[in-house]
Structures are given as structure tokens and as C-alpha cells.
């Protein structure tokens, strides 16, 4: 039986596509039946590919994300995904406000899946440098390893 994970950030062009890519990469090797996607709470970038710096850091780590396109969270996501993982507290609050009464998805923060970092935000690298995107990649990759193990155990 497959499980499904949706990563959510603000615009779906930086953090959440990198988290999606990192978990896909982890799952390809060990848990191929996990469905992974990403979305944003905002609609500014709908239809656009990930930020070029996000694409570059993913490519440096052997993952092509150029085919991904930003989308906004839909009410149906709360039915279609087992787990919806926000990249920061503001997006988690926005998801909680959007969540329908009969939703099946479990909500959490990405860093809730990293020892010693529960409740923390993944910093948004959008206004930063390539180094900020490298830091984001390292953080989402660590979390992806933990999430894959958590999903496999559960």
C-alpha cells in the first residue's frame, strides 16, 4: 500500500520542490511506493518552474527538478495525501486554516522530523544566495532521510 506526502511552502519554487526532490531521491532507492508532491499556499508562481538556484543545487546533487511546476494547495490535497508537511510555521498555520473538517491528512512541520529541531522553520532562501539554497538542500535532505525511515516503519 502506498503512502503519500505533500510538502508545502509559500510559493512552491524553492523549499517545497527541493524537499519533494530530496524525498523522491531517497524513496527511489529504498521505498519506491511513496507518492511525493509539493505545493504552495500562495498563487504567485503557479505554473512556473522552480527558482533557477533551486534547480542548480538539485542538479549539483544529481536531481533534475526543471520539469516541476508550481501549484497552489487545493482542498482535495487534504483528502489525497496522507501527510502534508509544511516548511515553516506560517504555512502550517495557513494549512490548518484551509484544512476541511473531514480531512485525512496529518499535518506537521518538516523539522518535526529532525531530532532537536521540532517546531523550527526552514529558512526561505528566495532572497538569499546560492549558499542559502545549499543550506536548504542539506536541511531537506536530512529530513527526507528521516521521513523515509519514519514512513517505512509506520
SS3 54: helix
Say which of 9, 14, 53, 88 is annotated catalytic: 9
Count Cβ atoms below 10 Å from residue 35 Cβ, excluding itself. Answer: 14
Active site residue 124: yes
**9 phi and psi, to 5 degrees?**
-130, -160
Taken in order 143, 145, 148, 154, is the CA torsion positive or negative?
A: negative
Q: Do the beta carbons of residue 56 and residue 25 sit within 8 Å? A: no
Per-residue model confidence as pLDDT tens digits over 84-134: 999 999 999 999 999 999 999 999 999 999 999 999 999 999 999 999 999
Active site residue 14: no
CATH class of 4-153: alpha beta
Say which of 88, 94, 124, 148 is annotated catalytic: 124
Q: Strands (DSSP E) along 64-136, which ranges?
A: 83-86, 106-109
Active site residue 37: no
- pLDDT of 28: 83
Q: List the chain domain ranges.
A: 4-153
Query: What is the rounded distance in angstroms from the CA atom of residue 77 to the CA atom of residue 68?
Result: 17
Cα dihedral 90, 58, 28, 150, rounded to 10, equals: -30
Amino acid at each position: 500500500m502506498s503512502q503519500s506526502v505533500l510538502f508545502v511552502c509559500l510559493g512552491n519554487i524553492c523549499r517545497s520542490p527541493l524537499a519533494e526532490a530530496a524525498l523522491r531521491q531517497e524513496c527511489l532507492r529504498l521505498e519506491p511506493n511513496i507518492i511525493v508532491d509539493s505545493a504552495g499556499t500562495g498563487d504567485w508562481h503557479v505554473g512556473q518552474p522552480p527558482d533557477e538556484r533551486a534547480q542548480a543545487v538539485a542538479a549539483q546533487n544529481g536531481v533534475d527538478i526543471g520539469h516541476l511546476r508550481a501549484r497552489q494547495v487545493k482542498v482535495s490535497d487534504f483528502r489525497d495525501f496522507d501527510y502534508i508537511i509544511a516548511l515553516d510555521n506560517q504555512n502550517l498555520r495557513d494549512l490548518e486554516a484551509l484544512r476541511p473538517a473531514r480531512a485525512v491528512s496529518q499535518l506537521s512541520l518538516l523539522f518535526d522530523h529532525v531530532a532537536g529541531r521540532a517546531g523550527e522553520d526552514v529558512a526561505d532562501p528566495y532572497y538569499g544566495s546560492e549558499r542559502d539554497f545549499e543550506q536548504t538542500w542539506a536541511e531537506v535532505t536530512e529530513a527526507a532521510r528521516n521521513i523515509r525511515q519514519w514512513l517505512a516503519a509506520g
